[in-house]
Amino acid sequence: MPQYTPPLRDMQFVLHELFNVVDTFRTLPAHADIDVDTVNAVLEEGGKFAAQVVAPINLSGDAEGCTLDKATHEVTPPKGFKAAYAQYVEGGWPALSCDPAFGGQGLPIVLKEKQMRRQKEAGSDGRNTRHTNN
């Protein structure tokens, strides 16, 4: 079974030590209350989701793929994908950076992008992700 270990320390280094994102957030009224602990919690929980939910279904996605019923035009995803998507939605990941007035969490888009990156890495074999920035 494939394993994925999110590079948390690398992500924290880039966000906190290179970009000082929390200092930048403090200058933005919508994100002024976001601190290092909040950023780290989002990174850690997002890493857990990628490692524990996305990575384990990688092989079934490759082996089974989606199937199309030509009569009904219904697409059936590989085993585990429907449940993984339900967990994704339940965890609030699609709305991470969306406006709270519309059901979002209102977090900075950089955190949403980091999460999308983790999911992509966890759901690939690494060929497309090894030599890119975190």
Report, at the CATH architecture level, how domain 8-122 is classified.
Orthogonal Bundle (1.10)
Residue extents of the structural domains in the chain: 8-122
In three-state form (DSSP H/G/I as H, E/B as E, the rest C), the secondary structure along 82-132 is HHHHHHHHHCCHHHCCCCHHHCCCCCCHHHHHHHHHHHHHHCCCCCCCCCC
Its pTM stands at: 0.85
Per-residue pLDDT of the chain (134 residues; tens, 9 = 90+): 668 899 999 999 999 999 999 999 999 999 999 999 999 999 999 999 999 999 999 888 889 999 999 999 999 999 999 999 999 999 999 999 999 999 999 999 999 999 998 888 888 755 444 434 44
